[in-house]
Chain A
Amino acid sequence: MPESRVTTWVWGALVVITVGAGWLAPAAHTGHITVASLPITVLVLGLALIKSRLIIRYFMEVRTAPRWLKLTTDAWLAALFGAIMVIYIV
């Protein structure tokens, strides 16, 4: 697949995930009293993690970058989303 086609597929995935996640947002359901929801938050954070990694790997071209950069960006994602999840749950 030519590079531009891959990039466009990534863009498509990002848009779909974004619109889908928007539907899950508390503000999208007016009239309901907002309640915390562990499953929805886990899903939302998981989707954000996927989007982030897609941007890093494909748009920022880390996929073809030296190994130190791959490891560093993955470590950043793991540390950040890990911390967010832990703080949310605890």
Chain B
Amino acid sequence: MSTATRNRDVWWMTWFFPAWYAVFGVIICLLTRVTPPPRPDVTAAEKVAFFAQHHLTIQIGFTLLLILLGGAAMTNGLVCYQIKRMSVGSVFAYGYIGGMSVGALPGFLLVTVCFLTAAYRPDRNPELISLLYDLGMLSYNGSLGCFTAAYLVLAIAILYDRNEVFPKWFAYVSIWQIITEVIATQMFVFPSGAFAWNGSIAFWLAVVVFSVWLGALIVLLRRAAEEESAKESAQMVAAQ
């Protein structure tokens, strides 16, 4: 890769994207234990025990997330930048940013605040701790419909884009995301079974689809940055 490329800032962000998600993965899986999710069909006493068992790592993990959450906005900004390079017009890029931003509040912040509050006073009334557990988990997993608008906008932009920034099949993968999130709404109805927040359909299958989507996006962002570098190098050579 030529270091004389003018889109070095794009390259920095393109590497930052998977790095941030890796840290985020450590936080949600290893530290705070919200992914894979703890069970919905347990008693208040068991929920209190969950918070007691993971007390320290929940506090470390979520306070870290509070500081790092801006990184999510930056990763969204990178995707927004690539959408702006499409022929469809900037409104799609802004729609994507808007949709993802709306989703961040119930998606990350609510579970962060709920779980930190639950860990803050462990000797609180167990029923209140149980409420914080449910509220946090439901909003974390079940609010994904907020992201639906962002994915829809992304899919439509890709399908109508004549500059071929992203391949058309990624639009279809984004539509799968929408479908799994529509199914996720069922989490609010079932405390157990396939459609609960830890269910095989509402959670596990959805996680597989999300991993495919995220993995594809990381690869495609890299490919888009390469194509932009190549285009700009060619333009610089032609201008000489």
Direct contact of A and B (CB under 8 A): no
